[in-house]
Structure 1
Amino acid sequence: MNDQAVGLTPPPEGYTDWLTELKSRIHTAQQRATLAVNRELVLLYWQIGRDILTRQAAQGWGAKVIERLALDLRAAFPEMKGFSPRNLKYMRAFAEAWPDAQFVQQAAAQLPWGHNLVLLDKLPGPETRRWYAAKAIEHNWSRNILAMQIDARLLERTGAAVTNFSTSLPKPQSDLARESLKDPYRFDFLGLTDKAREREIEIALIKHVTDFLLELGAGFAFVGRQVLLDVGGDEFFIDLLFYHLKLRCYVVIEIKGGKFKPDHLGQLGFYLTAVDAQIKHPQDGPTIGLLLCTSKNKVVAEYALRNTAQPLGVAEYKLLESLPAELQTSLPSIEQIERELAGSDDAP
């Protein structure tokens, strides 16, 4: 509704900017209030869980005390949720998993209660829970994304790609670059089997770019597919080009639909040289190359990377192992995917 419709005079100069600033401050205050409420709730749950543990150990109370406590707390606080026997047992498990009050205050209380339950249910020990908790806080993962990353074994895959970053990049950039790559990458969200061709995979990745960026990890920004490089009048095309916001550099990704071969790195290294010469800003870091293949001999990859000065990495990608015949027939063909992409390009 405009000002004339409600009988208001036009706002004075500077009012619109001030209103925008006020909205931002109010939104920030709301977020802080929500975080503060969550923090107090998680700390309360930890304290209740610790009390249950302590009293059961000291006074020999059995498991039935939790049922009694649930009835009494819900009677005393009928407007509050969270005092079911099941949730009280989670409080006990939460306190047992995190006996360190300082860690609960500094880390666990930054996550919603539902996130903490995911960590309890899906992970066996404190070290892996700490790692996933830190990542969830850093990247602001939803509960579903946290569960998905745990199921996808993110910890085991992070930093596992074969690279030469320790010799081709300065510290601490080399460590950050290594931690930014995984092995293997999971592309099962594409709905493609291991028989898919490179071009099919490439097109499907862009069609599912949100899932692709999530799998790549935080910091990757998509620049383009089949990016043209004109080198001395000859045309070359990069499969996928990204920019990494933390590393402050371009990342060239090439996809090979077979086993890794050392000569694959020659083509990728050429692309890195061209990007550094034609696209990279002087303040950007050296362009990084990532070769994705269906399989690799780790020793062969390490040998191939040993004598190159360009920052390169080699990792595998995994598609669906197999699909039922009835599901295979329902998948879109490469022609259908290309038509949909073409249609989306023409849309206003």
Structure 2
Amino acid sequence: MNLSQNLIHEIKSLIAKAKEGAIRSVDHHRTVMYWHIGERIFNEEQQGKNRADYGNYLIKYLSEQLQPEYGSAFSYRQLELMRQFYRTFPIANSLRSQLSWTHYRLLLRIDNEDKREYYIAETVKNNWSVRQMERQINSQLFERLLLSNDKESILAVARNEVIPTNPNEIIKDPLVLEFLGLKRESAYYEKDFEQAIITNLQDFLLELGNGFSFVARQKRIHLDGDEFFIDLIFYNRLLQCFVLFEIKTHKLTHEDLGQLQMYVNYYDRVEKVAHEKPTIGVLLCADKNDAVVKYSLPENNNSILASQYQLYLPTEEQLLKEIRREIEILNKNDE
């Protein structure tokens, strides 16, 4: 008897889902166990607080007793991490079942509590894998968002307490695109850049952030006999609008801004339906002059953004320098 392929597919999906749930459950129980071991070590350590080296002695002793029977999971370093885990997350009920022990190990490297809270909220909301969380931490996502937003707004969006209404709350500057595999010293065409984005679309969507979905590439539009092509089109369900990307591998010019403004106007007048918000245009460029952007666009502009791309992960020093520069600009504007 031939069974329906749909039935077989559904049963396979149920099996896969059950296996995934079982793995998650086991990993969460393991994480909670590590938390309780960390708590026990910490409390025992406090009993011997008159000895400065008691904590190190205790962990070394435990490792010698446990590792031969239970393996490397109870090495000196792992037991030390369990103690740090308890001290960093002292409330057991606050542990998230969606986060694995490996997720928490990454979070233990972060000293700033707000920064940790942001990555926890985003990982839970977006179901980030360990690799995805690590990539976002290494690309300094939290710091990049601070360049155009305040800390409270970033955390509120991450916690789903507010829905973003301003493009600056979502579009990052710079966008870090190290996953494209393009070398910054090499020459490449815009079509090569676009193809690299399509090839690595999942990673590009992760870098763009919440609410983005891919719509089209090289979208053809006709204007009284002339043809134009929009590089990339996305839709953002949080902003409820189309987001058009134009790729420029050169330094941004005012002509580039004018071209993108034409595309935005077209989408607002032809493609957008009544319930949707105004279209946003993003110029993804190799370099830009902020003054050119400022004076090429109306003062009340909220539809055209310029985002510089980087083909390498930024250093913390680079981002701190950018944040200081942004603060200086804001202070001058307030004077």
TM-score class normalised by the smaller sequence: 0.7 to 0.9
Quote the Cα distance in structure 2 between the aligned partners of 1:17 and 1:256: 45
CA shift, 1:84, in A, is 2.3
User: Larger Cα Rg: Structure 1 or Structure 2?
Assistant: 1
1:224-279 deviations in Å (ceiling 9; x for gaps): 22210012222111121122244332210012233334443322121112123333
| Aligned residues of 1:252 and 1:288 also touching (Cα < 8 A) | yes
CA shift, 1:21, in A, is 5.9
**Residue in 1 that maps onto 2:26:** 37
Does 2:285 align with 1:293?
yes
**Residue in 2 that maps onto 1:150:** 137
| Aligned residues of 1:161 and 1:315 also touching (Cα < 8 A) | no
**Residue in 1 that maps onto 2:262:** 270
2:122 to 130, 135, 143: 135
Q: How does 1:120-199 map to 2 (within 5 A)?
A: 120-121=108-109, 123-158=110-145, 160=147, 172-175=163-166, 177-188=167-178, 189-193=180-184, 195-199=187-191
**Residue in 2 that maps onto 1:328:** none
- How many pairs does the alignment contain? 295
CA shift, 1:317, in A, is 0.9
**Residue in 1 that maps onto 2:98:** 110
Structure 1 residues 258, 120: CA separation in 2 closer, same or farther (over 3 Å shift)? same
Does 2:65 align with 1:72?
yes
**Residue in 2 that maps onto 1:253:** 245
Which stretches in structure 2 are left out of the alignment for 5+ residues?
Answer: 150-161, 314-335
| Aligned residues of 2:174 and 2:309 also touching (Cα < 8 A) | yes
- With 28-37 and 269-278 compared, the bigger mean Cα shift is at 28-37
Which stretches in structure 1 are left out of the alignment for 5+ residues?
Answer: 4-9, 163-170, 322-348
CA shift, 1:139, in A, is 1.8
CA shift, 1:49, in A, is 0.9
- With 261-270 and 149-158 compared, the bigger mean Cα shift is at 261-270
CA shift, 1:153, in A, is 1.0
Q: TM-score, normalization: structure 2?
A: 0.75
Structure 1 residues 320, 88: CA separation in 2 closer, same or farther (over 3 Å shift)? closer
Q: TM-score, normalization: structure 1?
A: 0.72
**Residue in 2 that maps onto 1:166:** none
| Aligned residues of 2:211 and 2:237 also touching (Cα < 8 A) | yes
1:76-103 deviations in Å (ceiling 9; x for gaps): xx46772222211110111122234443
